[in-house]
Amino acid sequence: MNRLVNGLRAACAFVLLAALAAPGARAALAPWSALAGKTVLLVTGGAESPEPNDDARVARHLRKLGFTVRTADAAAPASAAAGASLIVLSSTANAHELGDKYADVPVPVFTWNTYDYPNLGLTGPVLHRDYEVIDPVQHYADSFAVLYAYGANITSEISRAVGLKPQLFGTLYLEPETAGWGRPGPGGTVIADFFGSRSHAAVFTYERDATLADGRVAPARRVAFYLGNDDFHLLTAVHGPAAKDPNLRSWAIGRKLFDAALRWAVSPPPPIPTYDPAAIDAGIRSVAHGKRVLFVERVHGGEGHRSDANMVAHLRSLGFTVVVADQTAPQSVARGMSLVMISGTCSKWKLANKYDEVRLPLISLEGLLSDSLHFTGRDRYRDYGEHGELLESDDPPEDYLDIVGAWSPMAAGLKPGLVRFTYHPGVLKWAWPLPDATVIATLPGEPHEDAIFGYPKGARMAGGFIAPARRALLPTDNPSYDDMTPQGRALFDAVVLWTIGG
Amino acid sequence: MRIRSRIARAGAVLAALAAATGVALAGPFPYRVQHRIALTGTAPVRALAAGPGAQHVYAAVGDEVRSFDLTGQAGSRVKLPGVVTGLAAGAGDTLYAVVGAPARLVILSVRPLHVVVSVSLHAGAPSAVVFDPVADELFAESQAGHSVTRLDPGTGRRLGVVRLQGELMQMASNGRGTLYLANAERNALDVIDADRMAFSGDIPLARCRAPSGLAMDTLGRRLFVGCGNGRELIVDADLGYTFVTLPIQRAASLQAAFAFHPLGHAGWKGGTFVAGGSEVDAIRMYAFVRYAGGGRLALTRPATALASNPAAGELWLAEAPRAAAGADDEGAGPQLLVLGPSCAEASR
């Protein structure tokens, strides 16, 4: 029996490691050939669709990609999606008719019905703050501005598929056009944005099991795209000799982005991790041998010294070789290491910008280093901060985290929603990372105060810095490690396991 | 009265919406036939060209080049060594003609109309000629030889040849060293680097079958492609990107011409005219990103050539000879149609 349990555990560890090895720890896009023949339900306004519209063109395009297309009117019941592999919601469907009927359907949804975003939980409910449709009649000047968008994320599968760069690109062909934007919740991934603002996402996604903006959990993948009723045919593309120019190729990517996002939506998502601390433990042990961890702390410090010692002991018990360095030691001590972990006992002032460019995976336990490590912007209290620090924070101590990225192996298989991180309320740090980061947990009720997140290698971080290896934030303040619940410890280990993978 | 004001208001709203959203409404064909000129013989008019100064139009009829004034009055004519398959107005008083057999480029002066020089061509029987006045480049196409030859506009000397595959149809030059050809067999536009006379790639034409008519707005960098399956594609030449598709007639061999202010300085900003079957289609340009169908004119016979003469506000068309008619049958020969602005356009 024990052998069976151990075998299963080893299998779990293998799956976990395989997931961690993938770029960004996400599943790859399925080849088009694997998607051919799948059924797409295209929901339009039917006879009530505004004219002109591109629904027929979209249907033709989907068929050309190999899908079998079934159409339904906005008024059709959600059961219309039975047997479909993908639901596509056109903006021609009346959002009030659509309501939230597809919100809980465990089928991927690809939508450009901006007014329906709140019904699906993709954004908050407030027009102009959480979502908006720019159109040439109401917003003539802005309808030119939406002909351009910025690549916000360069490491997602969609971004990699189109070679998205952190720069401007052409969304639609040159006419003042209708386009929508939304502000996703922290569980969402912004792929491209308007106006250089991640709060004005042109294209954004939710992985299956990610927490939506309204707190519900995505039952399948969700994609929001910036199109209007009749501008599918104006999605940018380049052909002929001009396509040999790499700048033009990375400029006119609207159609490629549409196709890649569509393909991502309908590709199989990664398996949902299960909460199994022993499997994570086994996973770490299988990779720890021969790996050297540089643990940077305030040597012989006061508060937190015991916690630091216990973390070091834990890492050693897993099989790592741990070298402890004082915060004032030169960065060269990282040479030959496999992972750098910066303790919350370190003083930002004394650390003096070290380790930001180190080409090793790095975990910061100190959220206040988030600006110097390029995790976020430079505005303390807006871009990063802390809860519960007496005299330094207006916010009360906290002991819970809100899991919003349950799909990621960094979430240790914990279910979406609140999880008790420490036994007692204490200081918890946070930062608001850029769209390339995968956010695992926020502080409760604070969607932009992200307590656990990770940047994959190659991610665009603050100030245009490109992550030379994985980067992660854990919110443990000086003594918190000793106060962690088993769930907190599992998160700690899962983040270590993910980070050392790249 | 109330109804009328409502209609007016609705019209104003529609117009505002159209202006704001880029949706333009198709209107009536902007020209009407002002003169109809019956030509003798059974040889079709294979090409038309508005001459320098816009005071005359030249027609390739059999083995002759004939001139006509703006009212359609026949002027001088000159006989060439074979059937004239293409005509193009050059710089100054120059006119270019290509002859199929024997394969020759003929450089003519139009004051008076006479041959200046005749040069042999060696890359197949020429089927068309195009002159780019901005780049000062001259090209002769050979459908039979699957080739394009670049020639010196002053002497006719051969500067380079490119061999192509497929069925080569109308050419258009962009004034910046690039030549485009509609390729009816490959459903694409062939792109030629005129400096190197080398094929630099093709522009695919989505849902366009057998493209044959091709015209270019060199300022807006737009290509107008007439397709055999009844579609007119408007392509951004810089991106190879088709951004407008409009319905036109279905015909196997189309000719297209673009002009700014084709009706003279009042009226349309720009227009493309496509002829081939027994109809002429107009595409109206409202802005560089906004186009709409500009109406259709029915012809009595298939069109064989067209030329825009914007300085005179005219469009010239050639109709084919009547099928199975004898040379002596009255009215059986080809006809030239001189089109001027319709009453609606003239009153603007």
Across the beta sheet with B113-120, the strand order is B84-89, B94-99, B104-110, B113-120
Average of per-residue pLDDT values in chain A? 94
Show which residues on chain A lie within 8 Å of chain B, measured between beta carbons. Answer: 52, 136-137, 140, 173-177, 233-234, 236-244, 248, 252
Tokens 């603007």 identify what position?
B348
CB contact under 8 A, A237 and B191: no
> pLDDT of B171-230, one tens digit each?
999 999 999 999 999 999 999 999 999 999 999 999 999 999 999 999 999 999 999 999
Instruction: Give me the residues paired with residue A204 across strands.
Output: A190, A224
Last-in-domain residue among B101, B129, B163? B163
Q: How far apart are CA A211 and CA A121, in angstroms?
A: 9
> pLDDT of A315-353, one tens digit each?
999 999 999 999 999 999 999 999 999 999 999 999 999
Q: Which residue has the higher pLDDT, A4 or A482?
A: A482
As a whole number of Å, the CA-based R_g of chain B is 20
Query: Does residue B221 contact residue B237 with C-beta atoms inside 8 Å?
Result: yes
Task: pLDDT band for B24, please (50, 70, 90 cuts).
Answer: very low
The answer on pLDDT for A23 being more than 90 is no
Query: Does residue A226 contact residue A203 with C-beta atoms inside 8 Å?
Result: yes
Mean pLDDT over residues A109-115, rounded? 98
pLDDT of residue A302: 80
Q: How far apart are CA B43 and CA B54, in angstroms?
A: 25
CB contact under 8 A, A137 and B236: no
Q: How far apart are CA A478 and CA A183, in angstroms?
A: 34
pLDDT of residue B92: 93
Task: pLDDT band for B347, please (50, 70, 90 cuts).
Answer: low
pLDDT of residue B6: 41
Last-in-domain residue among B163, B191, B226? B163
Chain A environment of B245 (Cβ under 8 Å): 233
pLDDT of residue A3: 53
B184 is a domain residue: no
Helix crossing, A486-500 with A2-21: angle to 10°? 50
pLDDT of residue B4: 37
Cβ of residue B176 closer than 8 Å to a chain A Cβ: no
**Which of B:10-29 have CB within 8 Å of A?**
16-17, 20-23
- Please indicate, yes or no, whether residues B218 and B348 belong to a single structural domain of this protein: yes
- Please indicate, yes or no, whether residues B249 and B157 belong to a single structural domain of this protein: no
**Could you tell me which chain B residue has the CA closest to the CA of A245?**
B239
Task: pLDDT band for B53, please (50, 70, 90 cuts).
Answer: confident
Task: pLDDT band for B147, please (50, 70, 90 cuts).
Answer: very high
- Please indicate, yes or no, whether residues B249 and B348 belong to a single structural domain of this protein: yes
> pLDDT of A442-470, one tens digit each?
999 999 999 999 999 999 999 999 999 99
Joined tokens for residue A165: 């760069």
Cβ of residue B204 closer than 8 Å to a chain A Cβ: yes
Last-in-domain residue among B96, B130, B163? B163
Task: pLDDT band for B348, please (50, 70, 90 cuts).
Answer: low
pLDDT of residue A502: 77
What distance in Å separates residue B285's CA from the closest CA in chain A? 14
- Please indicate, yes or no, whether residues B116 and B228 belong to a single structural domain of this protein: no
ipTM of the complex in this document: 0.85
Residue A452: closest CA among A435, A471, A465: A471
Instruction: Select the residue of B202, B204, B289 nearest A175 (Cβ to Cβ).
Output: B289
- Please indicate, yes or no, whether residues B79 and B140 belong to a single structural domain of this protein: yes
Q: What is the domain count for chain B? A: 2
SS3 (DSSP) at A447: strand
Domain of B117, CATH number, reads 2.130.10.10
- Please indicate, yes or no, whether residues B342 and B215 belong to a single structural domain of this protein: yes
Instruction: Select the residue of B21, B23, B238 nearest A242 (Cβ to Cβ).
Output: B238
The answer on pLDDT for A289 being more than 70 is yes
SS3 (DSSP) at A119: helix
Joined tokens for residue A339: 């992972």
- Please indicate, yes or no, whether residues B228 and B97 belong to a single structural domain of this protein: no
Across the beta sheet with B222-227, the strand order is B211-217, B222-227, B231-236, B241-247
Joined tokens for residue A400: 């819970």
- Please indicate, yes or no, whether residues B238 and B147 belong to a single structural domain of this protein: no
CB contact under 8 A, A236 and B203: no
B3 is a domain residue: no
Q: How far apart are CA B48 and CA B317, in angstroms?
A: 8
- Please indicate, yes or no, whether residues B29 and B51 belong to a single structural domain of this protein: no
Q: Are strands A168-170 and A148-151 parallel, antiparallel or unpaired?
A: antiparallel
The answer on pLDDT for A153 being more than 70 is yes
pLDDT of residue A148: 97
B201 is a domain residue: no
Average of per-residue pLDDT values in chain B? 91
B19 is a domain residue: no
Mean pLDDT over residues B255-280, rounded? 95
Q: Are strands B64-69 and A68-73 parallel, antiparallel or unpaired?
A: unpaired
Chain A environment of B191 (Cβ under 8 Å): 240-241
Q: What angle do CA B29, B221, B131 make, to 5 degrees?
A: 85
pLDDT of residue B16: 42
What distance in Å separates residue A174's CA from the closest CA in chain B? 7
Which CA distances in Å does A250 have to A225, A244, A283, A431?
18, 11, 39, 31
Which CA distances in Å does A126 have to A92, A97, B242?
21, 18, 37
Query: Does residue A120 contact residue A100 with C-beta atoms inside 8 Å?
Result: yes
**Could you tell me which chain B residue has the CA closest to the CA of A228?**
B21
pLDDT of residue A477: 84
The answer on pLDDT for B62 being more than 60 is yes
Element (H, E) at A278: helix A277-288
Task: pLDDT band for B345, please (50, 70, 90 cuts).
Answer: confident
B129 is a domain residue: yes
How much of chain B, in percent, has pLDDT values that exceed 70? Answer: 90
Q: How far apart are CA B172 and CA B177, in angstroms?
A: 11
The answer on pLDDT for B12 being more than 70 is no
The answer on pLDDT for B303 being more than 60 is yes
The secondary structure of chain B, three-state, reads CHHHHHHHHHHHHHHHHHHHHCCCCCCCCCEEEEEEEECCCCCCEEEEEECHHHCEEEEEECCEEEEEECCCCEEEEEECCCCEEEEEECCCCEEEEEECCCCEEEEEEECCEEEEEEEECCCCCCCEEEEECCCCEEEEEECCCCEEEEECCCCCCEEEEEECCCCEEEEEECCCCEEEEEECCCCEEEEEECCCCEEEEEEECCCCCCEEEEEEECCCCEEEEEECCCEEEEEECCCCEEEEEEECCCCCCCEEEEEECECECCCCCEEEEEECCCEEEEEEEEECCEEEEEEEEECCCCEEEEEEEHHHCEEEEEECCCCCCCCCCCCCCCEEEEEEECHHHHCC
The answer on pLDDT for B324 being more than 80 is no
pLDDT of residue A9: 52
- Please indicate, yes or no, whether residues B60 and B94 belong to a single structural domain of this protein: yes
> pLDDT of A127-151, one tens digit each?
999 999 999 999 999 999 999 999 9
How much of chain A, in percent, has pLDDT values that exceed 70? Answer: 95
Chain B environment of A241 (Cβ under 8 Å): 191, 200-201, 203, 240
Q: How many A-B residue pairs are in contact by the CB < 8 A criterion?
A: 62
> pLDDT of A157-167, one tens digit each?
999 999 999 99
- Please indicate, yes or no, whether residues B337 and B228 belong to a single structural domain of this protein: yes
pLDDT of residue B327: 55
pLDDT of residue A21: 47
Structural domains for chain A? 27-266 (3.40.50.880), 277-500 (3.40.50.880)
> pLDDT of B110-143, one tens digit each?
999 999 999 999 999 999 999 999 999 999 999 9
- Please indicate, yes or no, whether residues B60 and B103 belong to a single structural domain of this protein: yes
Kindly give, in sequence order, each residue whose CB lies less than 8 Å from that of residue A284, ignoring residues fewer than 6 positions away: A318, A319, A493, A496, A497, A500
CB contact under 8 A, A236 and B20: no
B195 is a domain residue: no
Q: How far apart are CA B316 and CA A83, in angstroms?
A: 59
CB contact under 8 A, A240 and B21: no
pLDDT of residue A393: 82
Query: Does residue A152 contact residue A193 with C-beta atoms inside 8 Å?
Result: yes
Task: pLDDT band for B1, please (50, 70, 90 cuts).
Answer: very low
How much of chain A, in percent, has pLDDT values that exceed 90? Answer: 90
B187 is a domain residue: no
> pLDDT of B27-46, one tens digit each?
799 999 999 999 988 999 99
Backbone angles phi, psi at A245, to 5 degrees: -80, 115
Element (H, E) at A73: strand A68-73
Q: How far apart are CA A333 and CA A426, in angstroms?
A: 32
Chain B environment of A176 (Cβ under 8 Å): 20-22
Q: Which residue has the higher pLDDT, B53 or A497?
A: A497
B308 is a domain residue: yes
> pLDDT of B70-122, one tens digit each?
999 999 999 999 999 999 999 999 999 999 999 999 999 999 999 999 999 99
pLDDT of residue B23: 41
pLDDT of residue A190: 98
Quote the domain boundaries for residue B120: 47-163
